[in-house]
Every structure is written in structure tokens, then in C-alpha cells.
Structure 1
Amino acid sequence: MIKRWFGSLVNRAVALVILVILLSALVVTIVGAMLSQGELEQQAKNQVETMARLVASGLDDKLALRLETLSHVAESFTMDESVLNARARVLIRQQTALQHLFDGLYLIDASGVVLAEYPEAFEQTGLNVSTREYFQDVSHHMTPVISDPYVSNYRDKPAVMIAAPIFDHRKKFLGMIGGAILLKGSNFMAEFAGIRIGKTGYLEIGTRSGITLAHGRTDEVMVPVRVEDPVLKDAMGGFEGTRQTRNGQGEGAIMSVQQMAQVPWFVAVVWPAREAFAPITRMADAFGWTLLAVIAVIGPLALWVFQRLMAPLRALGRQINERHLGVRTNPVEVSGGREIRQVAEIFNTVMDEREEVLGSLAEREAFFRSLTQSAPIGIVQTDVLGRIDFVNPAFESLIGRPASELQHTQLINGVYEADREAVRNGWQQALRDKEIFRGRFRIPSRGERELIWGDVMTAVIETPEKALGSITVVRDISRELEVEEALREEQQRAEHILGVLQEGVLMVDVQGRIRYANQAACVFLGTDGKCLKRNFFDLVVIEANDGPLAHADFLTGDNVDSLYGTLRNQKDEVFDIDLTMLHVRQGKHNERMVFVIRDDSERRREEERLSWEATHDSLTQLLNRRAFSASLVKCMAEVPHQTVRSVLMLIDLDHFKPVNDEGGHLVGDDLLKRLADLFKEAVRKSDIVARLGGDEFGIILPACGLERAEALAERIRARVQDLRIEQDGRSFGVTASIGLTELTPGDSGPREVVSRADEGSYIAKSRGRNAVVVVPAPSDDSGPARS
């Protein structure tokens, strides 16, 4: 509805007038508010600053009067200490002037004991106040003081003490006379605290040490100053001046601070900004109501004026419509402004020219339609406004709609909505460049398909003077695009799959030139992705178990399935590979060879790892029992051909279990690893060292001879005995019981040899451990086991 209302030029003009009024009023309001607020803010600051200065000056005068009067009275008490003590009560009662200035009077001796007070209802006589700060200041400096606020002994009421020292004729300090001012009493402090600025402004009096003496809003005393307010925080540091801040309720406020001369106090006057700037708010409200009244009068008046001005234009529009529909044959005539009459003249000229052109076009149209009736492709003719004048039978069949339904409809509306904007922009660009528009887009149809893809070409029909319309040719390419899309998707899918494969895939021709290669293949070739058109067999050398494979080996041979070998590229990088090769169109002029290269390094490393784990102990990295037994069998097979006997050494550790029990398994494991290193360092590289399980080790010494083996065993035993591990202040170690035996041709198998060596270690343990025992073979004449 709003869009329809703004469709009228009259309504737009009225809206423009109101908008200008609003903008002008807004500018005036903002400028006036800024100027008024600045002036009002300065006045408010001056007011609170004046109030702060007056209050601070008044407080200073009040305190100075009391300090001066009290000092004068103290100077009149020049008497002996005994007289002062005897007449203390009388002296206090006689100070009528002081009684009106203070809430309480006290006469205190040099030791800090209260001699007399007024009024006596306070019951402070005899009280020792020597610890009070005001007494210590007076007795130390011997000058009158105004104290910091403190909690008095009279019902714990907060007070300020003004005190002056008393001396005798010889200037000896006799004591002091003090006047107490209650912070919440009926005195000048209450009067100042009750002062108001406007309706909600108030005073706050505090000390630079951070204690509140009076607070006009909360009526609090002896509470900490609100240091979260930066102005109050600065006031405690000696700041004087006026700033904008926020009060304790979080409202914006103007605060003026004035430091006092008599005491380290300050006076803060606070005036909430909402009250200080209230005149601006009232002025803005009044201005708003005035503006509404002005708009209420100007709006209808502007509407009436513009309607009168636009009346000739409406008459012109009515006559133009009648001429267009054929109801009116005479030229349009209208009165009004110069611009409206000019529009009427132009329209009459256009209509005359149009009638001439229509006569000429009628003749050409008859000829055109006779040619297009039998055309196999869709043909559409439009006028200069893009409305359809003619369609041939092929176009009717294409979109499944008769010519009568299409007549006088916009051609652009026959384009699928999602493609319409792009087609319109392209057509307009072609029109500006005076070119033929060509495009492919979707067209809604009532035929077999709901949407068809059309290959469209549009040319402008024009004379040297002006354009008359357009001619459009449409060809259904839906089936062609489906086939192209299917082929493109299949190609993209294949390229994507090959691109992400870790296997290198490449295709070469009979000369070896690379026609296709994925990224993985380029990595194998070491070409950094630039390998097309290069010769595959010049870039790499492939070797199998039978030696290098050349170009001819692959070209003339059969397909290759899982050939394990190595590939060396131009960068001298070597890969363990699994190669597959397939012939495509073998024997023909366009023959191709497809190579699939897989990196076989990981599989071979895994095989080596599994083989190593199957034959080695994971803790000590020595051979395990299984590999040791296989080595012993192999060594026994070589015994008949040896001139020097091989020797088997079995090592059984002594006292290893206490190491595990007392030091823990980590200490035991560490000891076993160090012993393994010790055994490997002690023997030859050709000797075989193994961990047979737990704390038992075996060493095969091929072609060593028993005498050398026995000496080696003694060295090993001594080094084992010397090996110690420190843990938590304790030392751990073991000894070794070692059994030795030779391998002879008469041995029936490994079990017999191992049994003899094991017997030697058992004998060593039975003899007290930490020994080497040699067990001869049964066929030897060397006698019984020896150590």
C-alpha cells in the first residue's frame, strides 16, 4: 500500500515538502540544543563551583573562629599546674562563649587525663585520652590543631576535636583544652550537609585521607569516600575544579570540588545532569509539539496545491490512453505548464510517425510470416518494447503454448526466472554495442519437458532512423547439453579420483612421451608437476631383480602385474615401488601404455620391523630365545668343519629378584639394559648375544676356543660385579653365575649343549654364586667341571 501511495507524483511532492521541513527542524534543533546545552552546562558548572567555594569558605571561617577562640582561652590559663587541676571544673563552666561554639568542652592535663568537661552528661571526666591522635599532635607540636574525624567515647558518636595547648608562666606544658564538634549533631556541620542545589543536588564533605564527614544525599559519616568516582579520587590528591561524572546512583552529574584552607578537607557539590539540563528537555518537547502542528497544517495545504498543479498532466494521460486504444483519433490537446504542453506535442508527433511505420511493417510482416511458417527452428518477432508480435509453429511446439496465448506478452517473461536478469543484462549490452545477442538459457515449457535449454540468437530490426523491434531464433539443445554434461561429469570424476590417489598414474605413447600424469606420478618422476610431453624412460630408471627395464621391455612385453623393484628419478631420488603396466589398443598406431606406480617403502619397512620384533627382545634389543636357538643350530652345523671349537656361554644373574622387589621394576629394567650393553661391548662382532628370558642370557662364541672363552667369561663376571645403579640413596647390583661348554661333533642337538652350559651355571650357584664353571663335553678327557 505504501508503494502504491508513493506511485503518485503528488504524494511524492508532499512527502518531499514534509521531509524538508523535518530535516530543517532537525538541523535547527540539533544546533540549538548544542548551543543551549553548552551555555547551560557552563552556567551549571559556574553555579556548583560558586556553591562549593562558598561552602568551603564558610566551613573555613567556622573552623577558624573556633580555633582562634579556643587558642585565646588557652592563653588565659597561665597558672600553676595545681591550680589548674583544682579549678578545672570551674574554668570549664565559665567558658560560656566556647559552650555555644562546641558540642562538648574538655580540660585535659599533661598526662592525657580529662580533668573536667562540659556538659558533664558526657561522663568523660577521669578518662585517659593520651592515645588519641589529637592529644599526641598537641603535646608533640605544642600548637593548636584540628583533628581528623574519630569515633568519640560518648556513645561512639563521630566527632572532630579542636584543641589548644595550655602553658604556665614558665611555658611548661600543663595540658590542653579541646572542643568537640559532633559530625551528626545540631551544629554548623549539619547545616552545611543540609544545603541543596536545586531539588536533588547535594553536598559531600570529606578528608583527603578518604573519610566522609558529611553526605547530603545519604546522610552518612565516617564511611570511606567513594573512590570509584574519579573526581572524588582526584580530590583526595588535592584536585580543585569542576567536571562531569556519575553519582553513587549511576546518574550523570556535575561535580565541583573546593579544597579547604584550615584543614586537609574538601567540599564536593554534586548536581544531577538531568536536573541541570532540564530546561533543554522542556524546550525540545515544546519544539516537537510545534513541529507537529506545522506539519499538520503544511501537509494538507501542499497536497491541495500539488493536485491543482498536476491536474493538466492527468488530463494528458487520459487523452494519450484514449488515443492508444483508438477511442480518440484527433491529436491530444491539453492546457497547463510549458513542460506538459511539450510532452503532448511530442506524443502527437510520435503517433503520426508510428502510423506510417505500421503501414510499412504490415507489408513486410506478411512476407516474413510466409517464410517462417515452415522453418524447423523456433522464430519469434517482437516490437520495440519487447512484446511478442509473431511466433512460428516450431516455437509453439517448442514451448507447448499456442500463438494466441503468446501474443502481446513480454518475450523476457518467457525466460526461466532464475536466468532472467542475466539474459536481460546481456541483451541490453548487445543492444548498446549494436551486436547480435547470443546466449544459452532455460525456457519454461508445457511440452514433454518442464524446462528446456535453448540456444538463442536475437537481432534488432531497425531502419537507419530507428529500431522497429527484434527477431529471435530459438533451438532446443536440452538433449545435447545432457550428453555434454554426462561426459564432463564422468571426465571430472575420473580426473578427481586419479588426482587424489597416492598411486602415480600416467599414460605414455609408443615413443614414451607422457600424455597424462596425476600429481602423485609427477612426484615419482621428480618433475614438480611439469611432466607432460616429456619422455618417461628418459626421466626414470626402473630396476627389478633381473636388472634394469628399458622402453622396449615394456613395449614388446605383456601386461605387468605387481612388479616389485626400485625407481630412480632425475633428482636421484630412489623409491621402492610396486609397478603395474597395461597395454591399451596394443599393436595399433594409437597404442598407449598405462603405468600405475605404488610406493612400496612402507610395506617393506613394516616387514623388516615385524621380522626384527620376531627375533629380538624388546627391552634389551638383544636376540630372543627363538633367534638364539636358530643361531645355535646353524653354528652346530659348522662344528665339523672348524679347527677351533665354538663355545656356548650361559649367564644366570645372582640376586636379581631383590633389585626388582626393593628398587622397583624400572630399576630392574635399567639394570638389564646396562648388562645387555656390557655383554655386547665385551664380545666380538661375530659373536651372538641373546636374552633367553628373565635374568638369563646366552652368548655363542664361534671358533673361539675354550681357553679364550673362559678368560672372556671371567672378565664379564668381574664387570657385572662392578656394575652398580644408584636409586634414592641406595646402590643396586648383581653378580653372574656363568656356565661354559664347547660345541662338539658328537652333540646330538642344541638341547644337549644348552643343558651342559646350564649345568655349569647351576654348579656356580651351588658354590656360592659369582663364578665361572666350565662343563666339558662327554667325549672330552678333560675331566669334571672346573671353575
Structure 2
Amino acid sequence: MTDHQAEQGGPVQGDAASDGSAALARALREMTEQHRRLEMIIDGTAMGTWEWNCQTGQMWVNERWAQIVGYTREELAPITPETFFRLVHPEDLARSNALLREHLEGRSPQYDSLCRMRHKQGHWIWVQDRGRVYEWDAHGQPLRMAGAHADVSDLQNALEDAADMRQRLQAVVDASDEVAVIATDTAGVINLFNTGAEKLLGFRADEVIGRVNPGLFHDVHEVQDFLRPLADADGRLPTVFEALTAHAAHGTWSHQWTFVRKDGEHRQVRLSISPLDSGTGQRMGYVGMAVDITPLLEVREQAFVAAEKFAGAFNSAALGMALVSLEGRWLDVNDALCGILGYTRAELLEIDFQTLTHPDDLNTDLALVGDLLASRRDHYHMDKRYLGKGGNVVWGRLSVSLVRAPHGEPLHFVSQIQDVTAQRLSGQQLRDSEQRTRVTLDAVADMVLTLDLQGQIQYANAAATRALAGEGATPLTGSQVQEVMELTTEYAPRSPLDLAVLMDPDSNAVDLHSDLLLSVGARLLPVDVTRAWLQDSSGQVSGAVWVIRDVTQQRARQREARHLAEVDPLTELSNRRGFEAHLQEAITRVARTGQSASLMFLDLDNFKPINDTHGHLAGDAMLWAVATVLRNGVRDSDVVARLGGDEFAVILAGCSLRRARRIASDLLEAVRNLSVPWSVDRLVVGTSIGIAAISGGMSVDAAVAAADAQCYRAKALGRNNVQVEAPVHGGPDPLDLGDGDLDIESSEGGPG
């Protein structure tokens, strides 16, 4: 370019370049902001997201996608469509695949599937999975697809519960053919007419649902008399529906009415109307329940004449007496019965005997009533419990007979009731106490034994009998405890405890053991044993109660908790806490046996640039690879630990410094030859290793400091080499096989 051209074109081109750079910077900032907002939106919705390369099958999911099914992304890796197929419920997989195929073939705008997926903990969750293809090739074939994945278990379960509830309610309504149930919307149009309503009114459900107002069923003259006082200032009368629902606007309202059947027959009914509101309080309609009381009114009319004849004897009797309808309602009661039950006469006439009968006695009473109605007996007697007004239980000796019409039709019952509460109370209290205790002990899962001081079993609950004698075995009462059970400890499972010592009130043998085992057949069951002492009337110890609890799961959880606390989650090696525990065990073992042991410290070289250049995922991959090399490079009995960051340690039990040096040299070479593929690069590291001897008298901190000092020395001498502390001269190492001197090897040829 000439000077003139530079003079003419330089500034223009410079301005254009500057403008282009500014535009590019703005575009990058906008893209970064859009990406940030998108991530915020996704995080805010708690949605799992996924991307799928339709051609290669490769998939990517965010962490939330894995969390929904209880995993991490690392646990699911590598993530492919097969991962999804493996987790989806077999009954849902074909439908989900069909929906996916329909979208991939362009026959649906998006893929939308509701399916069940197995959670890591074993249960099924409902997932709504949506996505669509966003990139197609020139031939119209799908290239890339993305979507979202949401946990909708709560919603799906609620929908299923609601459907079940609707079905159950409909079944209950249809089964109540002795009660007419009629429901309407807020405008009065019928939308429910059960079989009881069909039976009472003679109409079919399809004749009235969606077509008529329930006012159709009322007697016209009776309704006019009812509505006349409700006229407004202009003389306008409300409709039957308006008047009735006004009374029921804030709760159930009951009234006796005359209903007119389809065939013109009049029936007397007791009608109760209640409002129907949604869960949000919005009024949806009303429901009316009508009971045909025509037969009851006829019986009452007939009974009136008979009642007049024996009213004097009825009212003056010392026994409680009652006339009871065939449905169980009190038609009349005398003063004695009111005194027994604590109700007034008016209160008793509003309820039935079923309401006042103790639930445990009701079925027996109703069965005997059925025998009377079926003419299988003329009368019956029974002792039964009534529920008094004050919440008390009243025992009554009941005698019942049935009054029939001249043609044999049953009319009503006559009942005589004698209060026998006082006679029953003392004996029943004792029996109830014994029964409750026995049922309670048989219901618990713990084994319960009652023993005398000689070890003879006085009582064993169901759990103890099953565990110690087997299912269906005879009771253990009278057996010696030593004959039916054996206790050992996890520390000495082959050495049974002397159970006679456990019968000594002054012995704390049980309290000293937190690892008891109960021998059950061929297996040993982890248990806890609790003792309580029984005393006689003089205060002397006469026996004991043992409670033996199965703690298998508790101890398993304790072991699992210890494992989780002592394992590095990335490499699955021991963490620093686990390492220190193993190191203390190694020091103790050396002190006890005199056996050699060595401690190796490893610090990775050139690891930080991997994190800085390729990110922490790449660093994690390298740490996992190094952990695998270390794990495979030592014996199963050796302990490999990750102390944090890129620091590792190896406890070599029964290993001299010379042998530890050879192992370290092999590990040094293995790590140096390690190559981890990452994107288009291959990641490599080196390691500096320091070794120190473990002696019996040292502390954990002293052992760590000795090995760490040698590792620091290896770093200072150029890295990627092994340094071993000078041996303590005092005698031959029993594991020193004389295979070379103690010169330090270095992969870089540096001094040892």
C-alpha cells in the first residue's frame, strides 16, 4: 500500500474495524446476558433439560434432570437414549417411543410424553417430558433435539386420587337405594339422580337429569302454603328451588314434605338440603337427600292406639322401656330409660339405638334383630353396651320382642333394658387390663420375656416365640432361658455370654456390650437387650422383664454412615478422616506385631494447569484416573486415600522402605505414562512421592509429617521423583529380601 493509499484508506479502515469490534462486543454481551437469563429461568422452574444428537445418539442433561430420578450426572454417565429407556416404566416405554417417532417423522409439532421413571431409591415417579427438533438436515432428517423434563408426581397422584374419590362417591351414592339423592347446579337443574331417587319417585334418571327442576316432585298445594309468606313487596313468590336453597345457603336444612311420584302416589319424606362448595369456597350447587317416612308414620299412627293401652305400665316401670321402629329409631321411651342413658325423652326420640350402641356390640345386636324380623326367634336377650350422654359406657341387659300387625307384618320392637353396669365393671376392668397388656405385647416387634430369678420363662410375647421357637411353636412358658436362646458379641461371636449373670440385679453385663448378637438358627441377629426388674409386695426383686430389639438396620445404617464419612465421593478412595483412622490402626498393628509398614505421600505435578486450562471437570477426570492407577498398583490390603486437592497417600502394611521404594517407582512410571483424553487434547501429569516408615511409638501427626517432608523434598529436587527417609539402623528388616541397596531412584536422574 502506498503512502497515499495509507493516508486515504487507513483512517477509514481503522474506523470500520473499531466499529466492528464494538458491535461484536455488544453482540457478545447480549448473548452472555441472554444465556444468563435463560439459565436463571431454567433454574427457577426446577426443570431438567436435555439435548440429543439424533444422528450420533449422544445426549447431554443438566444436573436437575439427574436429580429428578435421584442420581448425579456422573452416576448416569455415559448418558444416551438407552439411559432413558432403562429408567422408563416398561408399560410406558412403547407409548413414549411412539410419540417420539411421530415427532421425528414430522407428524406432530413437538414430543410430549407423560411417563413413569424409576427413582434411584426404587420407587416410581411421574415425569412430563417435552421437546422438539430444532435442527434438520437438507433432506429433512432430524439432527438435534432439545427439551425439558419435570417431576409431576404430586399432580398425577392428586389426579388419580380425585378420580378414585369420584368413583367411590358415585358407588356409594348408587348403593344407597333406600335414600333418594338428588343434586343440582346453582340454577336448579338436576345433575344427579340416584337409584334411591328412581325408586322413591318412579322417574328414570335420564328423564330428569339436565331437564327438570326438583320443584316438580313437590305437592302443589303444600308448596303454595309454604311460599305464600315469602312473597316480596310486589307480591312475587320465589320458586320452590329458591325458597329451599335460601334455607340451606349456610348449612344443611331439613324439613318434612309430601312428594308426588310419577304415577301420582303421595309419599311423606324427610328432605335434607345441603350446599355444595368447591375447595376454593365457590358454590357449585346443592344436594338433597330424601328418606321415605310414609311407613314409619303409618306405624306411629297404629302404635298410638296400642300405646294408650299400656302407657301407664310403660311410664311407671322400674326397668328402662322403649318402642323402637324397624329402622332403629326410638318411637317412645320411659323415664327409667332416660335416667339410665342420661338423655331427655325429646333427645332420645331424635336418634336411633344404633347411634347409642357400642360399635363392638352393634353387629351382634343387629344379627339378633334380623332373626326376629325373619321369624327365626320370638325374642332375644343380650348384655350390651350403650354410650351415655356424658360419654360414659352403660352396660344394659336387653330383652327385645317384635310387635306384628294382624297379618304378620312387623310393626315395631319393644325393648326392656336393665342397668347392670356396676355388676360388670369390676370383673371387666380386670379382664380388659390383662387383654390390653397381652394384645399390646403381641403387637410389638420387639421380643419380650418375663423371667424369674432362676431364668425360667414366665411369659413370652408372640415375637419372642416366633424368633426363639419358630412359627407356630408351642409357648415358651416354663422353659429355661438358657435352653432357648444364646447371646454373643460381634467382638467374640463364638463365645456365648453366661445368661445366668444377666439375672443378677447387680450385674451390668448387658450395659457393657453395645454389639450383642442373638443366635437364631444358623444366623446371628444384632440386638439390644433392655432389662427391668420385677418386685414382689415386700419390695424384693422377684424376676425380670427382658426386651430384645432387632437392630440390624440401625447397625447397618451406622456402618453406612461411617463409610460415607470416610470415603472421598469423587475417587471412592478413603478421605482424610478415613485415612487417619486406617493410619492409627497401622501404627497400633506395628506396635503389637513388630511388623514393618510404610507411608507414602504423593503430590501431582502440573495438575493446576489442567484445572486452569480445561476446567474442573477435566481435573476431576484426571484425579479419577490417578486414583485408579494407585488402586491397581498396590495390594487389596493396602489403603489408598485422597487427602484433598491433588494429594494422595498410601498405607503399605507389612512393607519395608526398600519394597515401598520399588512400589513407588512403579507408581511414578504408571502416572507418568497416564494419558487422559479430553476434547481434542490428552491430559498428562507427573507426581512427586515421599516415603517414611511407620513405627509403633509414633503419633498419626508424626507419621504424616515424616512422609510429607519426603514429598516436599521430592518437589524441591525437581519433581517427578521418589524420596525415602533415611532408615533407622537397629537390626535387619524381616521383610527385607536383600534385593538392592537403598539408593533413591528418580525418573529424572536427580539425586536420591
For the superposition of Structure 1 and Structure 2, which TM-score range results when normalised by the shorter chain?
A: 0.3 to 0.5
Higher relative contact order (CA 8 A, sep 6+): 1
Q: Which has the higher helix share?
A: 1
Q: Which has the larger radius of gyration?
A: 1
TM-score w.r.t. structure 1 length?
0.38
